[in-house]
Chains A and B, each alone.
Chain A
C-alpha cells in the first residue's frame, strides 16, 4: 500500500470499537453501582441482575457437574463479553450519522479477532477444565487433523458475522444513496433482526464449542448439548421463575445426552 493512502474505514472502525468498549464498561459500572441490596434491590440493580441471569443461564447450560461449577466464573463473563460487544457493535449502524456510523463488526479484522478470541478462549477453558496436556491432546487425538477444525471454526465464525453485518450495512448505504428519506427506516427496523440473531448465534456456537471442549462427552453430542443449553431469546426479559420452570426439562435432555 502507498504511504499516502490512509485507511479511513479502519480508523473509524477502531474508534467505534473503542467507543463500544467504553460504553459497555460505563454501563456495567453504572448498573453495578452501590448500594447493592439483596432484600430491596434498586431498579438499576434489578436490570443488571436480569442481564447477568441471562448469561448465567447460558453458561450453566454448557456443561454440568461439580468440575464445571468452578469454571462458571470464567465461562459466564467470557460468553457475556462476546455477546454484548457484538450486539452493541452491530447496533452501531442505526445511529443517524452519515459516515462514522460504520459498525466495527463490518470490518473483517474485528470479526477475525473476535473469532480467534472465542476459539482460543475455548481451548484455554478446556485446559482449565482438564489440564493443559489433555487439552493439547484433544487437538490431535483421536483425529490427527483435529486442529484444522479449530482453524475452520475461526474462519466460519468470523466470516459469518462479517458477511452479515457488512452486507447489511452495504445495503443500507446503497439504499440511502438512492432514497435518502423514509425507506431507510424500514431497512433499519428489519436490520434489528440480524443484529440480535448474529450476536446470539456467535455466542451459541462458542457455547457449543465450549461444550465440546469442557464436557466429558464426545464432540458429536456437543451440538445437542448446546441446543438443550439455550433458553429462548425471550428468556432474557422473563422472570427467574419461568427460568426455573424450564430448567428441569433441559436438565432431563442433558442427562439423556450424557448417558
Chain B
C-alpha cells in the first residue's frame, strides 16, 4: 500500500510539470517561428533567444523530474 502511494506521489509532479512545460514551450516556439517568418534576417538571433527560453522552461520540468527520481528511489 505504501509503495503504491509513493509511486503515485512520485508520478504526479512529472505529469503536471511536463504538461505545463509543454504549454509554455508551445507558446515559445510559436512566437519564435512567427518572428522568424516575419523577419528571416534576424532568425539566428531569434533561434538563440528561443533556445534560452526553452532551456529555462525545461529546467522547471527537469526539477520535477528530479523530485520524481528522488521519490522513486525510496520505493
Contact = CB atoms under 8 A, between A and B. Distances in A.
Contacts of A198: 55
A223 interface: yes
A231 interface: yes
Interface stretch (B4-12, B27-35, B58-66): B58-66
Interface of A: 156, 159-160, 162-164, 166-167, 197-198, 200-201, 204-205, 208, 223, 226-228, 230-235, 246
A197 B62 CA distance: 15
A162 B58 CA distance: 12
B16 to A, nearest CB: 16
B51 interface: yes
A228 B59 contact: no
B45 A228 contact: yes
B44 interface: yes
Given A163-B66, A231-B44, A204 B59 contact: no
Contacts of A234: 44
A201 B62 contact: no
A117 B34 CA distance: 38
B22 interface: no
Given A163-B63, A164-B62, A201-B55, 8 more contacts: A163-B65, A164-B58, A204-B51, A205-B55, A208-B52, A227-B48, A232-B45, A246-B44
In the A-B complex, the 3 residue pairs with the closest CB atoms: A163-B62, A232-B44, A201-B55
Nearest to A246: B44
Given A232-B44, A235-B44, A227 B49 contact: yes
Contacts of B49: 227
28 contacts: A159-B59, A159-B62, A159-B63, A159-B66, A160-B55, A160-B58, A160-B59, A162-B66, A163-B59, A164-B62, A166-B69, A167-B62, A197-B51, A198-B55, A200-B51, A201-B52, A204-B51, A204-B52, A205-B52, A208-B52, A223-B52, A227-B48, A227-B52, A228-B45, A230-B45, A231-B48, A232-B47, A234-B44
